[in-house]
Amino acid sequence: MRTKDVLEALNISRERIKYYKKEKVFAPEKGSVNGRADYTNNDLENLKRLVILSKAGLSCADIRKMQEKAGRPLKEIAETRKESIFKEMERMKASLLLLDELLSANVQYDTMPIEELWEYVQQKEQAGEDFMDAGEESCTISKVRNIRCPHCHKRLCIDLEEFQSGQTSDDYDSGMGEDIVYYFDSEDVYECPKCGTIIQIKGWIREYPLGAYDSEEINVSQWRT
């Protein structure tokens, strides 16, 4: 089966297949013949599997963890991603309600009831709610993630923004512009609130195209001096 046939059968782009190959989650069984890929029915099923997992919000890093010989179970990874999505939905909901406050006030930029709205935001945040907050970065993707303490296994919700150690950007010829990769390393500053273990959270999140979530790899381990 040629690439064109696969694209038509699955209604996906050539770039998506290239991306799966680049991220090392997919390789055609037969490789390529004279520079042309020859896809099997198994390849087609594997691509369907990858598309389903991608549409469920799982990253290629998540998929690689499942594909490894001693890989993590899909249920565990899906539950973690589900929690992250719910957290993002809560942030979006809070921002939607704030937008409703702005719209119901029917005011312009210069006539906003600043103190009233400021008090509204402060009360919500003190009650434990989070907003999307696109203030400092042009991106809108959330860096809030759920992890497990490697010692007591308590689920913890963290904002990786606090541990950002740098970022890189490259331009691609795909027509989607630049990407941004954010790097994180908590080193020895994060302590599990339950057992007191010092946890190192290290990894990256890729945004591509700008403003859109692409992939990530977050590793959690006990801090070693």
Hey, CA dihedral for 24, 25, 29, 32, is it positive or negative? negative
User: Distance between CA 89 and CA 81 in Å, rounded?
Assistant: 12
* 3-state DSSP of 120-186: HHHHHHHCCCCCCCCCCCCCCCCCEEEEECCCCCCEEEEEHHHHEEEEEEEECCCCCCEEEEEEEEC
What does the alpha-carbon distance between residue 14 and residue 20 come to, in Å, rounded to a whole number? 10
Looking at residue 50, what is its pLDDT? 94
Express each pLDDT in 142-161 by its tens digit. Answer: 888 999 999 999 999 998 98
- The chain-wide mean pLDDT, for the chain, equals 86
Give the whole-angstrom CA distance, residue 36 versus residue 17.
Answer: 14
pLDDT in tens, the chain (225 residues): 888 899 999 998 888 888 888 888 999 988 776 667 889 999 999 999 999 998 888 888 889 889 987 778 899 889 988 887 888 889 889 999 999 989 988 888 888 889 999 999 999 999 988 887 665 444 457 888 999 999 999 999 998 988 988 888 877 655 567 788 899 999 888 999 999 999 999 999 988 877 778 888 999 999 986
- Residue corresponding to tokens 């719209």: 103
Determine the 3-state secondary structure of 16 from DSSP.
Answer: helix
Q: Please give the full DSSP string across 76-102, using - where no structure is assigned.
A: HHHHHHHHHHHHHHHHHHHHHHHHHHH
212 CB-near residues (< 8 Å, 6+ apart): 141
pLDDT of residue 172: 63
First to last CA, the chain: 53
Render pLDDT for 23-56 as a digit per residue (tens, 0 to 9).
889 999 887 766 678 899 999 999 999 999 988 8
Structure confidence at residue 127 (pLDDT):
92
Residues in the chain: 225
Scanning the structure block, which residue is given the tokens 């099997």? 40
Q: How far apart are CA 121 and CA 184, in angstroms?
A: 28
Question: Rounded to an integer, what distance in angstroms lies between the CA atom of residue 201 and that of residue 188?
Answer: 9
Residue 51 tokens read as 């598309």
Instruction: Give pLDDT, residue 213.
Output: 82
| 170 CB neighbour count, 10 Å cutoff | 9
Residue 121 confidence (pLDDT): 93
